[in-house]
């Protein structure tokens, strides 16, 4: 009976989330300077923060500043390694202040609202199943929610499949960061930086780039699995740090290359 109530409440919250995302599209026209999107993400953030605190879900311990320690510092360094190519690879460019400023607010809205819902509310509801199961199931829910991006228009089965798998893997990594740093705000800021391309991606003229490549069934099936096999091991490594420091094999490598002085 408890599982039934949990599933029903989870389904209800997901329905509410989708309604908040979809209803404004029925009466808001255009999205100049991300105005509509910022408003939508602000509503999502406010609504689900209120629900989490009123209901007292089992995630409130993560709504604080990150703890200071080796595991947290290493986790934040890993997050920086993931987002740094998006800043320095040449794929991003500065935008006029009229786009950049609301664009930054828009990215923060994505990061904070989606993390509060997925890593806060959904993880908190499912945490009674155990931390690992809650990580997996909340990440799957996060991935499946991205089907909403393609529903109704611009439907492309393979793009949706790619997005769902990669988003679920990203969600698992973000959840590991939240647990290890004891702060949902770390994963929220990481999420915002990770989506930097949505605002600051360099505009490239590909009119003379020739025909679009043709992907085989095998290409389409394997395309998102790079993120899966990258994010999941990194997330497991972060969780290992959370359980008690560096794995022994990492310590051996560090000692071998003399980054740390070996114990006498």
- Cα distance between the two ends of the chain: 58
**Which pLDDT tens digit goes with each residue over 170-225?**
999 999 999 999 999 999 999 999 999 999 988 776 555 556 666 777 777 888 88
Encode burial over 87-116: b for 16+ CB neighbours within 10 A, e otherwise. eeeeebeebeeeeeebbbbbbbbbbbbbbb
CA 67 to the chain's CA centroid: 20
Q: What percent of the chain has pLDDT over 70?
A: 84
Residue 100 placed within a domain = yes
Number of domains in the chain: 1
pTM above 0.85, yes or no: yes
Mean pLDDT (whole number) for 40-51: 95
Residue 244 placed within a domain = no
Residue 95 placed within a domain = yes
More reliable by pLDDT, 17 or 151: 17
What's the CA gap between 231 and 221, in Å, rounded? 18
Residue 178 placed within a domain = yes
Residue 46 placed within a domain = yes
Q: What is the dihedral of CA 85, 112, 57, 240, to 10 degrees?
A: 10
**What is the helix (H) or strand (E) element at residue 164, kind and residue range?**
helix 157-181
Residue 99 placed within a domain = yes
What's the CA gap between 240 and 79, in Å, rounded? 16
pLDDT band at 250 (very low <50, low <70, confident <90, very high): low
Residue with tokens 């094999």, as numbered in its chain: 249
Range of the domain at 50: 2-202
Residue 254 placed within a domain = no
Residue 252, CA atoms < 13 Å, CB-side half-sphere: 3
Residue 240 placed within a domain = no
């Amino acid at each position: 009976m408890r599982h039934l109530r949990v599933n029903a409440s989870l389904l209800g919250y997901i329905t509410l989330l989708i309604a908040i995302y979809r209803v404004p599209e029925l009466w808001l026209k255009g999205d100049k300077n991300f105005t509509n999107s910022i408003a939508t993400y602000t509503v999502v953030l406010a609504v689900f923060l209120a629900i989490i605190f009123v209901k007292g879900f089992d995630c409130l311990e993560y709504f604080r500043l990150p703890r200071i320690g080796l595991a947290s510092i290493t986790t934040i360094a890993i997050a920086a390694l993931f987002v740094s190519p998006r800043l320095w690879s040449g794929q991003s460019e500065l935008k006029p202040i009229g786009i950049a400023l609301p664009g930054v607010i828009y990215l923060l809205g994505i990061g904070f609202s989606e993390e509060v819902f997925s890593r806060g509310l959904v993880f908190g509801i499912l945490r009674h199943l155990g931390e690992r199961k809650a990580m997996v199931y909340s990440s799957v829910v996060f991935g499946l929610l991205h089907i909403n991006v393609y529903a109704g228009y611009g439907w492309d089965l393979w793009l949706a499949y790619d997005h769902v798998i990669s988003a679920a893997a990203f969600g698992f990594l973000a959840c590991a960061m939240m647990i290890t740093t004891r702060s949902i705000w770390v994963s929220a800021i990481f999420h915002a930086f990770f989506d930097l391309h949505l605002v600051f991606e360099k505009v490239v003229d590909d009119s003379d780039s020739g025909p679009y490549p043709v992907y085989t069934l095998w290409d389409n099936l394997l395309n998102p699995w790079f993120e899966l096999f990258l994010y999941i091991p990194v997330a497991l490594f972060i969780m290992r740090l959370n359980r008690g420091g560096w794995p022994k094999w990492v310590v051996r490598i560090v000692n071998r290359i003399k980054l740390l002085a070996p114990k006498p």
